[in-house]
Every structure is written in structure tokens, then in C-alpha cells.
Amino acid sequence: MTRSRADYHDVEVVHTQRLTRHMIRVVLTADSLATFGDDLHTDAYVKITFVKPELGLTPPYDLAELRQRLAPDDMPVRRTYTVRWYDQQKRQLAIDFVVHGDEGVAGPWAVAARPGDRLVVSRPGGAYTPSAEADWHLLAGDEAALPAIAAALEAMPDNAVGDAFIEVDSTEDHQELTHPDGVLVHWLHRDGVHAGTSTVLVDTVTKSPWREGRVQVFVHGERGMVKELRNYLKNVRGLSRDQLSVSGYWAYGRTEDRFQAEKREPIGQIPLD
Ligand SMILES: Cc1cc2nc3c(=O)[nH]c(=O)nc-3n(C[C@H](O)[C@H](O)[C@H](O)COP(=O)(O)OP(=O)(O)OC[C@H]3O[C@@H](n4cnc5c(N)ncnc54)[C@H](O)[C@@H]3O)c2cc1C
């Protein structure tokens, strides 16, 4: 019998693990995760809905109905996160949350998360998987993209070659990554400069030697950085749309609600052509 995939999963925290100074892994479980998804892309992501436990709401949430009776501050909040790994047998998935301070919903929630806490996650989306056809791979991103970059590196064949540039604050944010010997991992440090305002990633990628052959690119992270690298890759390196996976994951000074809303305005758009 084929079971259909649920639209959402009412998940519970199994345990949390502080991976590095600014990253916490939260492992989640639900019986319905047995049918979470086959053949996930390496950048698979979910929309997480956060609700205040004291409101006693049960999913699925009827947002229109809730808007009628809840104060704006009590409304469910949605945030987007990468699926770092999924274990169908155990019906578990892991999400690595950047710890970015007291602001926001998801980051502070992860810091305080305890076994038994509940969340609702959507079915997975995603679009990028490293191609075995590429001559080389170029990956670049900040901490928010580190889970997706780590998953991509793990999925590459042993003979893959390329460069992965990862922007973090300091050596305290380095992770042990599994990657082919031919894919060099370059850790870049902001050294105390606020995330989203450093130029270290753009400066390093644009000055790095360019390899021979057809490249497949993955550039995800803070929107301004992604836009600059997209312009370099299109205008200087002449890459075509089908070689590029470029996506803003967050924007400096914006909540995700505002960041998502701005995708309908020029400031929020990252054209591929
Ligand atoms: C497809 C996709 C996959 C993603 N995967 C991951 C992931 O695996 N792990 C992860 O941590 N994030 C990931 N993100 C980014 C994450 O959705 C945003 O960082 C989100 O804004 C965090 O929500 P929040 O409630 O913590 O903060 P918000 O309420 O959205 O924002 C509050 C403040 O914090 C700032 N802020 C938000 N994110 C960061 C950050 N990373 N560093 C510094 N300041 C920040 C905002 O600019 C704002 O000023 C992903 C985004 C997308 C679109």
C-alpha cells in the first residue's frame, strides 16, 4: 500500500545539540515522517510554524479564523529551514538553527528548545542537488546556508572537485564536514563584524582562481551577498541560468515576514536572467 504524503507534520523535539558557538541542531520526530519524502534535494527545506504553547492551538491552523480572534502578537509565525538530514527508519529529521541573538522567533526558540516541545513542519521543498555531470562545483554561503552546503558536500561522488566557501564568525563556528578530497572547504571569518554586513565572502569568491570546465554553482545566504555574487557569476563569468542555484535565505535587518514580502518588490528580487 502506498501511503500519501502529509501536508504537514506535527513534530516533537527528541533532543538538541550545540554544534558550534552559533549553531544548534534540533532533532524532531513524528510518526507521519515515515512518508516525509523520498529522494530529497540536498537543499530540502521546510516551513516551520511556531505557535505559543499556552494558546492550546492544534494543527492544521486556520489562519483566517485565528486572525479574527487572536491578538497580532499571538498569531502563528512561519520560518524556513533546511532539512540537514532525514532518517526514514527512525522517523526523524534534523534542523540546524543559527543562533543569531535575542531577535526573532526561530533562533531564540532553538536555544530554549527542550525534548517534548512541539512544532509543525510542512512537506519538503527544494531544487538543488549536485550534478555528477558538472566538471566542478562552486558553493558559497553563510551560516544559514551551511546545513545545505554540508548536505551537498556529503552527497557528492568521491571524484568531485570544486570549492566551498563558508562565511562564519570565527574558528568557533567551524564544523567537521564530510566532503570529497577534491572539493576544498574554505572557512571565511567575519571576526566580529555583524552577519549580513561583511564583504569577506564576496571578496574571496570574486578573487579566487577560476577552474577549467563547466561549473555548477550553489550560492545561498544573506540576500545582499547573494545578489552581488549572482551579478559576478552572470556578468563576469558568463554563467547561464541552468548552472546557477542562487537564493536569498534572509536579509539583514528584516524579519522573515518582511524578507518574504519584499520578494514582490525590486529590492527583494534576484533575477536569474
Ligand atoms: C530555503 C531556506 C532555507 C534556510 N535554511 C536555514 C537553516 O538551515 N538554518 C538557519 O539558521 N537558517 C536558515 N534559513 C534562514 C532563516 O529562515 C532566517 O534566518 C530566518 O529569518 C530566521 O528566523 P528568526 O525568527 O530567527 O529571525 P527573524 O524574526 O526572521 O529576524 C529577526 C532579526 O534577525 C536577523 N536574522 C535572521 N536570520 C539571521 C541570521 N542567520 N544571522 C544573523 N541575523 C539574522 C534578521 O535580519 C532580523 O533583523 C533558511 C532560509 C531559507 C529561505
Q: Residue 46 maps to which CATH number? A: 2.40.30.10
Output the CA 99–ligand 1 centroid distance in Å.
Answer: 9
- Both 106 and 140 in one domain: the answer is no
**CA pair distance 50, 111, nearest whole angstrom:** 14
- 104-146 pLDDT, tens digit per residue, is 999 999 999 999 999 999 999 999 999 999 999 999 999 999 9
pLDDT on residue 4: 61
Say if 2 falls within a structural domain.
no
**CA pair distance 65, 209, nearest whole angstrom:** 55
Say if 151 falls within a structural domain.
yes
Instruction: Tell me: pLDDT of 5 over 80.
Output: no
- Both 93 and 14 in one domain: the answer is yes
Say if 1 falls within a structural domain.
no
- 112 alpha carbon, distance to own chain's centre: 20
Say if 129 falls within a structural domain.
no
**pLDDT bucket at 268, cuts 50 / 70 / 90:** confident
- Both 197 and 88 in one domain: the answer is no
- Both 166 and 257 in one domain: the answer is yes
- 191-239 pLDDT, tens digit per residue, is 999 999 999 999 999 999 999 999 999 999 999 999 999 999 999 999 9
**CA pair distance 139, 34, nearest whole angstrom:** 31
Output the CA 249–ligand 1 centroid distance in Å.
Answer: 7
Say if 216 falls within a structural domain.
yes
Please count the other Cβ atoms lying within 10 Å of the Cβ belonging to residue 155: 14
pLDDT on residue 269: 84
**Are 206 and 231 a contacting pair, CB within 8 Å?**
no
- Both 118 and 81 in one domain: the answer is yes
**Protein residue closest via CA to atom 4 of ligand 1:** 81
Output the CA 111–ligand 1 centroid distance in Å.
Answer: 14
Instruction: Tell me: pLDDT of 17 over 80.
Output: yes
**CA pair distance 138, 229, nearest whole angstrom:** 11
Cell of 140: 558559497
Number of domains the chain is built from: 2
Half-sphere exposure of 137 toward its Cβ, with a 13 Å CA cutoff?
Answer: 29
Q: Domain residues for 39? A: 8-122
C-alpha pair distances (Å), 139 with each of 165, 214, 241: 6, 14, 15
Output the CA 255–ligand 1 centroid distance in Å.
Answer: 8
Instruction: Tell me: pLDDT of 23 over 50.
Output: yes
- Both 105 and 150 in one domain: the answer is no
CATH number of the structural domain spanning residue 201: 3.40.50.80
Q: Using the 3D structure, point to which of 122, 154, 189 is the last residue of a domain.
A: 122
Say if 128 falls within a structural domain.
no
Say if 73 falls within a structural domain.
yes
- Both 231 and 195 in one domain: the answer is yes
- Both 264 and 142 in one domain: the answer is yes
- Both 82 and 17 in one domain: the answer is yes
The binding-site residues of ligand 1, defined as CB within 6 angstroms of any ligand atom, are 45, 79-82, 96-98, 100, 103-107, 143-144, 147, 195-196, 249-250, 252-256
- 40-95 pLDDT, tens digit per residue, is 999 999 999 999 989 999 998 999 999 999 999 999 999 999 999 999 999 999 99
- Both 264 and 140 in one domain: the answer is yes
**pLDDT bucket at 1, cuts 50 / 70 / 90:** very low
